[in-house]
Structure 1
Amino acid sequence: MVVKSLWADIQEYGAESGLIVTISSLSPGAEKVCTARNYPIPQANRETLKQWVNVMRTPYKGVFTAE
C-alpha cells in the first residue's frame, strides 16, 4: 500500500522519483510491484542508513542517494 501511495504522489506532484526509508526492508510483494511496474522508488534500508550516518560523521562529507 505504501508503494502504490508513494507512486500516486510522485505522479500527482510531477516528481521524478520517491524514496522509501525503512529500518527493515520492503516486503517481497512491494519489491515485485516496484519492479513489475517500473516505479521510480528506491529504498534505503537499515544498512543504507548506517552508511549514511557514518558518512555524515565525517567532516565535509554528505549523502548522495542517486545511483
Structure 2
Amino acid sequence: MKIIVNAKPHEVAASDLKGALQELGYACSSVATALNGTFIARGQRTEVQLAEGDCLEVLAPMQGG
C-alpha cells in the first residue's frame, strides 16, 4: 500500500506500523512515531493498522546544544 513517510511517498507491504517501520529500515532505531498527527507509543505499534494514504512521521532523537 502507498503511505506518506516524512512527506515522501513510500510503498509498504506491512499492514501494521511496526512492520512498516521494519520495512523502512527503522527496526533498530530509537524513534518516535506519529500517524496522521497522533503520537503512537512504541508498545502500540503492532496494534496500529495502516491504511492507504496514511501519513507517518518518524522522528529520531538529535544531539546538540
Which structure has the bigger radius of gyration? 1
Relative to its length, the structure with more helix (as a share) is 1
Q: RCO greater where, 1 or 2, for CA within 8 Å and sep 6 or more?
A: 2
Relative to its length, the structure with more strand (as a share) is 2
Q: TM-score, normalised by structure 1?
A: 0.25
Q: TM-score, normalised by structure 2?
A: 0.25
